[in-house]
Structure formats: structure tokens, C-alpha cells
Amino acid sequence: MNWIRKRFQRYRQLSPWDFCWRIAIEGTIVSLFAAILLGLAGAPGREMDFDPEVILVAGLIAAPIIETLLLQSLPVWLARRRNARFSTQMICSIVPWTILHALEGIQTGIAAGLIGGFYFAFTYVHWREKSRWTAYWVTALSHFIHNAIVIGLAMALGQL
């Protein structure tokens, strides 16, 4: 468990841009790995019954902007008002994120919800110590990068 703490402590030393793209790629790899393992174990995947244009707009524009505001900014703001510790602020963001994504099934709930929620909560809470604006744009951009990779892979594999 200590190696995880050290891993994320190294992220805290990076500039916003380096942090942003590195955390997005790592979070995406870990989420995809979990989704694959869950799929192999028989957990049903997310059904993509939307037009590709809707998925592109929702996944690349709306989700990063709106979810960062409602599922990171708001819960962390509420936790900070109560003088919550770093880990508690993260939990306050992870819980609603996971619940929202779990509505799409166990595979999405764990891979996108719990794992993705952890990475985005860590991003927001870490950068919120510096600035609200930096926390917002680094988290939203990381979310955009994550979704762009996932949507690109889905398109390449003919899933969209």
C-alpha cells in the first residue's frame, strides 16, 4: 500500500500540464484493465446505443465540464467547508461519481466509477490546494483526455 502512496506523491511534484496528461493516461490504462478483467469475469459492459456524434459531444465536451463541476467541485467544496482531510475530500467526490457510473452496470461502476472517480478526485483535491481554477481545468482536461482515448478505442474496435 505504501508504494501507491509514493506513486501519487510523485504526481504531486509535477506541473499542472505534466500532471494532467500523465494522470489521464495512467487512469485510463488502469480503468481499461479493470473493465477487461470484469468483462472476462462475465460482467456486462456498457451499452452504446447513442449516435456517435452524441457520444463525441457528450463524452468530450459535456461530461468533462459538467461532471467536474457537479461531481468534483461541489462535493470537494462542501467537504472543505467542513475542514475535511485530503482523503475525506476525495471520498466525497468518489462516492457520487461511482453511484452515477454504477447506474450503467457493475463493469462501468467499477472501471469508470470507482477507478476513474479515484483518479479524478485525486486530481481535483490535489490541485484545489493550489487554486480552484487550476483544479477545475486540470481535472476537466484529464477527463477529456481519458474519454478521448476510450471513445477512440471504441471507434477503432467498431463498438461505436
The residue written with cell numbers 500532471 in the block is 19
pLDDT at position 136 is 98
pLDDT digits (tens, 9 = 90+) for 29-74: 999 999 999 999 988 776 666 787 888 888 999 999 999 999 999 9
pTM score of the predicted model: 0.92
For 43, list phi and psi in degrees, rounded to 5.
-70, 130
- Contact between 35 and 107 (Cβ < 8 Å): yes
The pLDDT confidence band at residue 6, using thresholds 50, 70 and 90, is confident
Phi-psi region of 105 (alpha: psi -120 to 50; beta: other; left: phi over 0): left
* Mean pLDDT value of segment 119-129: 97
Q: What is the C-alpha separation between 46 and 8, in angstroms, rounded?
A: 29
pLDDT digits (tens, 9 = 90+) for 72-93: 999 999 999 999 999 999 999 9
Q: How many CA atoms lie within 13 A of 49 on its CB side?
A: 3
pLDDT at position 139 is 98
